[in-house]
Structure 1
Amino acid sequence: MSIKSPLLARPGAVEASGADAGTAAHYGDPLREQRALARGEALTDLSSRGVVTVSGEDRLSWLNTLSSQQVTNLRPGESSELLLLSIQGRIEHDARILDDGERAWLIVEGAEAPQLADWLNSMKFMLRVEIQDVTADWAVAGSVAPVPAWTDFAVWTDPWPRVGPGGHAYTETADPAHPGHERPWYEYLIPREGFEAAVDASGLPLAGSMAAEALRIAAWRPRLGAETDDKSIPHELDLIRTAVHLSKGCYKGQETIARVHNLGHPPRRLVFLQLDGSQHTLPAAESPVKLGERVVGRVTSVAQHYEMGPVALAVVKRSVDPEAQLVVEDEGELYAAAQELVVSPNAGQAVGRPTGLLRTPRSRA
């Protein structure tokens, strides 16, 4: 059950559903809120997120052995992203990680926190680590710019879309035109008992989850539970970029990571869709994506962007022609969908490749 945010009592607040339940979808004017958030002039209530802490001398070396990321030498205040994978290399948990010198903070989707804490506790054996689900005590708030009034709070800085050490871009390796650069992102850890007072002290207005989601989609940023399903592997979502270290030591799922990256291709690929806005409606997440009469994928996230209009992320079959015009169908309503490559159809088989993959030019037309 989600924790209800006190900010839902603010004028105009309309509660979100799904993963953001317990926080506001908007406060009366979603597009105005989105513009303010994009300018760094608003905050988003992310208190539906879960927070797990790992303390003890062995915390970073232990997390390093379990996860896809190299975190052994993570410095206090430094941010990263890690994945916990199945033996088959499928994504089970995606955690934002920040270490403060005494404990590692893992920010996850709210429903994931109890499961993650239980699993970590089952794996600690005789190591000097202590795991706690502290979601009831700590809330999260997000912004596109640092909040000057919040210098006393720990903050996770999203590495997206920079290619981290040991990472690899499945678009173009050094790509200054990646739209993710237009959306820096900061997530602050704030005690729940002082959360509302901290928001007031920031001096910034609120933007709902609809605003944050629109900016995330435009930045091609995958989200656990939206872009992922029980078959997702990191290559399909360009998560090798920020969440995987390709040359670190052994961890569960590493064989699949290496095999697909070096020798194969991911079976599906993430794509950005510019949707026809003439219907003045949006298709629902999970709507089928079709090429002609054939279903080739599914919409994973959809939003109304304040500049581009209706946009979506979708996961489609790798074999889909990147130049093809697609259609999204929702209860008989058809939405023309122009593709923009996020993950190249040729992604993978990186052995001997001296540079990254090419990406088609981005257009906001």
Structure 2
Amino acid sequence: MKSPLLSLPGAVPAEGVDEGVAGHYGELYREQRALAEGTGFVDLSHRGVLTVTGEDRLSWLHLLVTQHVSDLPPHRATEALVLSANGHIEHALYLVDDGTTVWAHVEPGTQGALLAYLESMKFFYRVEVADRTDEFAVVHLPAGSIATVPEGVTVREAPHGRDLFLPRTELAGLAPDGPYGPPAGLLAHEALRVEGHRPRVGFETDHRTIPHELGWIGTAVHLQKGCYRGQETVARVQNLGKPPRRLVFLHLDGSEVHLPPRGTELRLAADGPEGRAVGFLTTSVRHHELGPVALALVKRNVPVDADLLADGTSAAQETVVEP
């Protein structure tokens, strides 16, 4: 679904799963600085939007996701995961309940599979699940933004900013001099996500990623709630304390020209470029202050102070998930 904001001056489309919105509008670092200062907005209209209505919506979702949502107060943001039977991450939902409806946005193109799963689990519960992507677009306002949100727009307010579920018909009216200020591209949004160590499904995950590896325990996984699919894996890893991999933040030295892409294998610098792989890059970005940085998954037993190599580029670790 192509965003009308791609027609704005300087707009350059994002790539891969994020195509359909602008990667940047011609000034990547200025856009990052604006978001960091709490101004502007990000077009996330390519993300999927689902709603759940009905009397049992919260108690029903509580049985299916990793987060404790049965008593979720209206307008309180949370996030939750859907796991496979083996505890591997399949979906991440960014949720808010407005008092009558649960609103969630999910990774681009994944809403169909998630909707099919939720529909298959309705049974006798009084719930209705709907894909609202054609009707509503997600627009992100950064933390510190003083922009006024129109009455009637559902808002999900998280520590790093506000996500608006805006009627899609209003997207074309978000000009640079509009109510939310100038637009910032997805690359700026991603740079701040990496700086904040926030994982993303499809980037920091593969077919065997479990929540402990990414530090999603606490923010998206509640350890004291009842049974849900994949809980056995979560409980086992929590009790043993040994996830096979861990998320790290990397400073990439000397990669101003060549930024190693996602999937680049990581090796111990002490072993040289021909050494065995000990992990891989998950997201690499150019940050307006930190320079080239990345998130990566490495094996749990990689020393936290070990220097790494990413396609010949030196990479210094900062611990995100303790080994």
In which range does the TM-score fall when normalised by the shorter chain? over 0.9
What amino acid is aligned across from residue 126 of structure 1 in structure 2?
F
In structure 2, distance between residues paired with 1:225 and 1:26:
21
Alpha-carbon distance between aligned partners in 2 of 1:211 and 1:189, rounded to the nearest angstrom = 20
265-274 or 75-84: bigger deviation: 75-84
Whether the 8 Å CA contact 2:136–2:165 is kept in 1: the answer is: yes
User: Secondary structure at the residue paired with 1:315?
Assistant: strand
Residues 261-315 of structure 1: CA distance to partner in whole angstroms, max 9, x if unpaired?
1124100000000001355221111111111211011100010000010000000
CA offset digits 1:9-58 (Å, max 9, x no partner): 00000000122110000001101111111111111110011001110000
Question: 1:272 touches 1:342 (CA, 8 Å); kept in 2?
Answer: yes
Gapped runs of 5+ residues in structure 2?
none
Contact 1:138 1:192 in 2 (8 A): yes
Alignment partner, residue 110 of structure 1: 108
Q: Matched residue of 2:172: which SS?
A: helix
> Please, which of 277, 280, 304 is the counterpart of residue 295 of structure 1?
277
Q: Are the equivalent residues in 2 in contact too, given 1:149–1:201 (CA < 8 A)?
A: no
Letter of the 1:280 counterpart: V
Structure 1 pair 123/4, CA: closer, same or farther in 2 (3 Å)? same
1:221 partner SS: coil
TM-score by length of 2: 0.95
Write out per-residue CA displacement over residues 228-269 of structure 1, whole angstroms, 9 at most, x where no aligned residue: 111000000000030011011111111111110112410000
1:39 aligns with 2:17: no
Which residue identity lines up with residue 99 of structure 1 in the other structure?
D
Q: Give the superposed CA RMSD.
A: 1.3
1:154-203: CA deviations, max 9, x gaps?
111235xxxxxxxxxxxxxxxxxxxxxxxx22211100011222565314
Q: Matched residues, percent identical?
A: 50
The 8 Å contact of residues 280 and 297 in structure 2, kept in 1 or not, is answered as yes
**C-alpha deviation, 1:139, in angstroms:** 0.2
1:250 and 2:220 matched: no
Give 1:25's aligned residue. 23
Please state if 1:326 is matched with 2:308: yes
Which amino acid is the alignment partner of residue 282 of structure 2?
T
2:90 equivalent in structure 1? 92
Contact 1:99 1:105 in 2 (8 A): yes
**What is the alpha-carbon distance in structure 2 between the residues aligned to residue 118 and residue 61 of structure 1?**
19
* Structure 1 runs not aligned, ≥5 long: 160-183, 346-365
Given candidates 134, 139, 142, the residue that maps to 1:141 is: 139
Q: Aligned to 1:337, which of 301, 305, 315?
A: 315
CA distance, structure 2, for counterparts of residue 105 and residue 128 of structure 1: 17
Q: Determine if contact 1:147/1:202 at 8 Å carries over to the other structure.
A: no
CA contact (8 A) 1:277 1:309 kept: no
